[in-house]
Amino acid sequence: MLQIGLRTTAGNLDDLLARAIRLKWSPQQLLEEIARSEIDEKGARNLERRSRLARIGRFKSMADFDWNWAKEIDRPLLEQWLKLDYIREHRNLIMIGTNGLGKTMIIKNLAHVALQAGQTVMFRTAAEVISDLTCESPRQRRQKLRRYAGIDLLCIDEIGYLAYDASAADLLYEVVNSRYESGSIVMTTNRYFAQWNEVFPNATSIGTMLDRLSHHADITVIKGPSYRLRESEAETAARRKAR
């Protein structure tokens, strides 16, 4: 069984045959059950492998997202993205907003939906992408760039939370350029594009990077007070009341 790739069947052969005898399966029913179990197990292994690559981490479901909290949010657009149609069209999504408004929660849910749909996904912060590509060997960098280019959905979180030098902007440009018109990028930032010169001072690649990033893209702004701050204040009030 193992020699022909039937790993699941090989591991459960005795139970499978006992069930087939007990239920009086025909040879065709037995073969159908073998095929079904192998397909299910292969799908589970594939999802596990893609989940390890994605590194989404913990997140809350969109069922817990309070759409009414933000003072400005394009709910129809974001819900359309969660249906994955725009990913298949290789569009980009850039979410702009201050801290605590749920940008990371939304893109983690989007990444999860894409994984469940069989797509390959990578979720990384901007700092992780830049650190990953800051390697001594040009050959290693090319290999890593091919990985960033070859997946279905790349999620880059938290651009603008840290300041970088011009070389970091060049690395991020290489990622954007490698996926231009061939794969979706979903990105969150707390800075408007006009402020990216403050994030990457003296970087000459910013204009070209933003031009390619914003071409075939949906750019949406989320405005409002921090939802995390609201939760923290509610928890503090609850503890005081409990005393």
What's the rounded mean pLDDT across residues 154-179? 95
pTM of the predicted model as reported, rounded to 2 decimal places: 0.84
Residue 26: is it exposed, middle or buried by C-beta count within 10 angstroms (0-12/13-18/19+)? exposed
- Span 26-69, pLDDT tens digits: 989 888 887 888 777 877 788 899 999 999 999 999 999 999 99
- Do residues 155 and 121 touch, judged by C-beta distance below 8 A? yes
Q: Which among 107, 209, 96 has a CA at the least distance from the CA of 153?
A: 107
pLDDT > 70 fraction of the chain, expressed in percent and rounded: 93
- Span 173-200, pLDDT tens digits: 999 999 999 999 999 999 999 999 999 9
Residue 217 in 3-state DSSP? strand
Comparing 91 with 243, which gets the higher pLDDT?
A: 91
The answer for residues whose C-beta is within 8 angstroms of residue 163's C-beta and 6 or more apart is 198, 199, 200, 201
Domain spans of the chain, in order of start:
2-54, 62-230
Cα atoms found within 13 Å of the Cα of residue 90, Cβ hemisphere only: 12
- If one looks up domain 62-230 in CATH, what number appears? 3.40.50.300
